[in-house]
Amino acid sequence: MAAKRGVKAGRPGGRGTGRRFDRKSTRAQLGGPAEVRPRPLREDLVRALALEALAAIRDEGRVADRTLDHLLHRERRLYAAERRAVAEAVYGLLRAEGRLHHVFERTLGGEYLALSPAARRALWYEALRAKERGVDPARALAEAGLSAALLPGLDAFLGEEPVAAADAPVEERIALEEGLPTWMTAIFVRQLGEEGARDLAAALNERAPLTIRANRLHVEREALARRLEAEGVASTPTRFAADGLHVEGRVNLFGLPSFREGLFEIQDEGSQLLAALLDPRPGWLTIDACAGAGGKTLALAASMRNKGRLVALDVDGRRLSQLGPRARRAGVHNWEAHVVPEDGLPAELSARLSGKADAVLVDAPCTGLGVLRRNPDARHRLDEGSVARFASLQRALLHRYASLAKPGGRIVYATCSVAAEENEEVVEAVLAERPDLEFLPPSTTLGEELAERLGAGRYLRLLPHVHGTDGFFAALLRRR
């Protein structure tokens, strides 16, 4: 397919849920200033939409973020606070489903199991509403049209009684307490031990921070923070990424003038660090081999100062098509994009790229076990065989795209998984078969001080409960 190239002007490439509250303004009786009050949530509407979304995700296998995007786009008359309430309810239910099901099955037995899937989800919704908003359990059941006979189940969920038996295996206890499949928590225990597994599982049930990357082609981080403050947005610098800012509160970033001007991109701090690990220089030929929607491609372009040649590859043309509008808004123009077949590069493209790249990023498809806080529905879509299936694909991709690097060229292999089968074992297996590849310590590009703060030794491992980032793994390699 012909390459798509960037130009310097454009429109924003996304949309988001806003911070702006819908309010009623009421003038004070004695001519004073208007009194601003938030509109109350229409609880019936919020409940109906949250349960509709959950049914589509769990019964039809829909992806959560796309389902919510479609639903909230359809319901144009929702208040901003209602949009947030629907999204938060859906993600909360996806995170807590396993724990809710276990508690109700244990407490109510056949009475719970006899409920239809829709009634069970309505019960789960009311349980979370009672817990998070302090709604009286009996009232919650009545408002949802559920039998008062289910009240002991709600009381058990709201109580302090342990979810799992004390003598259950540790991975089972963590799974029930955090609403995760046991096979996932078993991986966490193998990788991190019991304490680390508990901390990771708990962190994956928290809301991810809202993090942005200052676009160095236009602005430095400190100047961006001042600009955001002038636009009414508070931010704090990220701990590790040089261009990152954590945005405080719930903000419609896509509506800010600074976003429309291309001053920043929304990007997790861990993702920013992967681009920093590759560290391409101006004038290099750099390849983003699994580019997706191009978030890391734009970070690489900033590192290259728009000089050189930046090639984005992906098998998913729909996702890759998002790079064009994003690049135009960011002022990135040294890029080209190619949709490639799953079985390898077309001959013409392979001839142009093989053995010529100064730097190659292979951010391989994976289970996403490190980003469950952003994608809570993944815990229900994956199964125990997913790890092995992804590992096979990952080995093939690393073999294929490492060959694009020239002698002396850098390669970063990365995933957003925490499973060794997708990470260390993939790298070690490929290196055993490829004597032309060798390790470089992460400090080569990150610097000794940052590598030490990150705890990076042979590999870079990022964990939500340790670093506050999404969970990532990365290895820095070089072609001999």
Catalytic residues: 416
Tell me how far apart the alpha carbons of residues 423 and 446 are, in angstroms, rounded to a whole number: 20
Q: CA triplet 255, 261, 267: central angle to 5 degrees?
A: 70
- The runs of H, that is alpha helices, within 144-256 are 151-158, 170-178, 182-203, 221-230
Residue closest to 366 by CA, chosen among 416, 292, 294: 416
3-state secondary structure of 25: strand
Tell me how far apart the alpha carbons of residues 428 and 435 are, in angstroms, rounded to a whole number: 11
Helices (H) and strands (E) in the chain, counts: 22, 15
Residue closest to 243 by CA, chosen among 175, 315, 287, 298: 298
- CA 387, 392, 396, 398 torsion-angle sign: positive
- Residue owning tokens 């342990």: 162
Tell me how far apart the alpha carbons of residues 294 and 319 are, in angstroms, rounded to a whole number: 8
Upper half-sphere CA count for residue 62 (Cβ side, 13 Å): 17
Residue-wise burial string across 192-211, b where 16 or more C-beta atoms lie within 10 A, e elsewhere: beeeebbbbbebbbeebbbb
